[in-house]
């Protein structure tokens, strides 16, 4: 059996992800949902850098497309994102009662709530410090999100397909944390969601406002991203279904230990095979 190159591994993960991540009903309606989840819980989801754009906005909401104080939604291809948190310490059972934050760049590669940033591709970010679009959190098993009622271990968000910026493949940051009654973070860790290069290229070249940028495709692919390693492809690259016209749906399963998101202590994951701290290589 030949050894896969990194590019081949990334492509293979995209195909597998498309089969495994069948949509939002993975918990709610599929009888085999637990088995699917367990297959994605064979290893802990690696801790990946939070980057420099984390802001503790404490915006508990499902729809993150606009500022919390009103205004126009961020333009882009609609994305429904379902995140399941699994307790690897207890046979990959759904882990409820933890906060799951997401934050990511808009279609132009810019983050909200930043005084300045460089997105590349001729787009220089100005001051977005008065904005908080594309940021928010939900509580697993408590907030219904896009579902009719809360789902054990699950949160869901209505957002857009992220845009690219120099030096990073397209991604969504995710932080899982346990909050005290006063809202303070007790424990948790961060990771990132990636999409296949093929899916990214399709959106960037065929949809507005992404295709107005130059270059139209993401110059940093999954295989040369500084954060995503070959070992993390099967856990962090997700498949999607849908279309540009009607939007896409993605499901991301996170395997964590209960101690990481319940015990008092550091945000760092102490004992995984993934990346564990150190200075972030990029955003």
User: Is the per-residue pLDDT at 66 higher than 90?
Assistant: yes
Q: Using one digit for the tens of pLDDT, what is the confidence trace for 189-229?
A: 899 999 999 999 999 999 999 999 989 999 999 999 999 98
Q: How many domains does the chain have?
A: 1
Q: Which residue has the higher pLDDT, 11 or 156?
A: 156
Nearest to 161 by CA among 234, 108, 215, 122: 108
Query: Pairing mode, if any, of strands 78-87 and 247-256?
Result: parallel
Q: Which two tokens stand for residue 52?
A: 């420099």
- How far CA 100 is from CA of 11, 38, 56, 83, 174, in Å, comes to 28, 20, 12, 8, 7
User: CA 248, 253, 258, 263 torsion: positive or negative?
Assistant: negative
Query: What CATH number does the domain containing 31 carry?
Result: 2.60.130.10
Distances (CA, A) of 116 to 102, 113, 262: 20, 9, 35
At residue 26, does pLDDT exceed 60?
no
Question: Which domain does 77 fall in, by range?
Answer: 6-261
In sequence order, the β-bridge partners of residue 156 are: 82
pLDDT at 11 over 70: no
pLDDT at 158 over 90: yes
- Asked if the model's pLDDT at residue 135 lies above 50, the reply is yes
Q: Which run of H or E residues covers position 34? A: helix 33-39
Q: What is the pLDDT of residue 182?
A: 83
Quick one: average pLDDT of 259-272? 57
Instruction: Say what the pTM is.
Output: 0.83
Residue 22 is assigned to a structural domain of this protein: yes
Q: Is residue 280 part of a domain?
A: no
Answer whether residue 274 is part of any domain: no
Note the pLDDT of residue 122. 57
pLDDT (mean) for 252-264:
82
Per-residue pLDDT at 20 exceeds 50:
no
pLDDT in tens, 74-120: 999 999 999 999 998 888 899 999 999 999 999 999 999 998 887 77
Indicate the burial class of 72 (C-beta count within 10 angstroms; 0-12, 13-18, 19 or more).
exposed
Which pair of tokens denotes residue 170?
């397209």
Question: Residue 218, Cβ neighbours under 10 Å: how many?
Answer: 26
Let me know if residue 45 belongs to a domain: yes
Find out whether 164 and 204 touch, Cβ atoms under 8 Å. yes
Strand ranges (E), 121-170: 123-125, 135-139, 154-160
pLDDT, average across residues 158-187: 91
Burial 141-171 (b: 16+ CB within 10 A, else e): bbbebbbeebbbbbbbbbbbbbbbbebbbbb
Contacts with 218 (C-beta within 8 Å, 6 or more apart), sequence order:
164, 169, 170, 197, 200, 201, 204
pLDDT of res. 2: 42
Q: What pLDDT is stored for residue 272 in this prediction?
A: 35
pLDDT-derived band at 261, boundaries 50, 70, 90:
confident
User: CA 220, 222, 228, 229 torsion: positive or negative?
Assistant: negative
The answer as to whether 267 is a domain residue is: no
Residue 268 in domain? no
Please determine, for residue 140, whether its predicted confidence score (pLDDT) is greater than 80.
yes
Distance, CA of 140 to chain centre: 15
Mean pLDDT rounded to a whole number for the chain: 81
User: Does residue 278 lie within any of the structural domains?
Assistant: no
Q: Interior CA angle at 74 toward 254 and 113, to 5°?
A: 75
Sign of CA dihedral 165, 46, 146, 25: positive
What is the pLDDT, as a whole number, of residue 186?
80
Within a domain: residue 16? yes
pLDDT of residue 202: 98
Structure token pair of residue 255: 């395997």
Q: Which residue has the higher pLDDT, 31 or 76?
A: 76
Report the percent of the chain where pLDDT is more than 90: 59
The whole-number pLDDT of residue 22 equals 32
Share of the chain above pLDDT 70, in %: 76
């Amino acid at each position: 059996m030949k050894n896969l190159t990194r590019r081949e591994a990334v492509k293979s993960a995209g195909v597998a992800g498309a089969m495994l991540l069948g949509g939002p009903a993975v918990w709610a309606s599929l009888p085999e949902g637990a088995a699917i989840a367990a297959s994605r819980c064979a290893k802990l989801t690696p801790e990946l850098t939070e980057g420099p754009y984390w802001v503790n906005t404490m915006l508990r909401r499902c729809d993150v497309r606009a500022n919390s104080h009103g205004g126009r939604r961020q333009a882009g291809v609609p994305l429904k994102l379902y995140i399941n948190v699994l307790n690897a310490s207890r046979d990959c059972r759904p882990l409820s009662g933890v906060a799951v934050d997401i934050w990511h760049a808009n279609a132009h590669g810019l983050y909200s709530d930043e005084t300045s940033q460089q997105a590349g591709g001729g787009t220089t970010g100005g001051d977005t410090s008065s904005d908080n679009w594309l940021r928010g959190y939900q509580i697993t098993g408590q907030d219904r999100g896009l579902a009719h009622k809360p789902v054990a271990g699950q949160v869901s968000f209505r957002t857009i397909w992220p845009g690219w910026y120099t030096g990073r493949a397209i991604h969504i940051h995710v932080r899982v944390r346990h909050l005290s009654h006063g809202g303070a973070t007790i424990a948790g860790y961060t990771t990132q969601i990636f999409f296949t290069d093929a899916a990214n290229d399709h959106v960037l070249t065929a949809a507005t406002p992404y295709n107005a940028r130059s270059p139209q495709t993401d110059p940093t692919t999954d295989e040369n991203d500084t954060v995503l390693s070959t070992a993390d492809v099967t856990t962090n690259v997700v498949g999607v279904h849908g279309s540009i016209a009607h939007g896409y749906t993605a499901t991301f399963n996170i395997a964590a230990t209960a101690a990481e998101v319940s015990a008092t202590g550091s945000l760092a994951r102490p004992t995984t095979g993934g990346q564990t701290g150190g200075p972030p290589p990029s955003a």
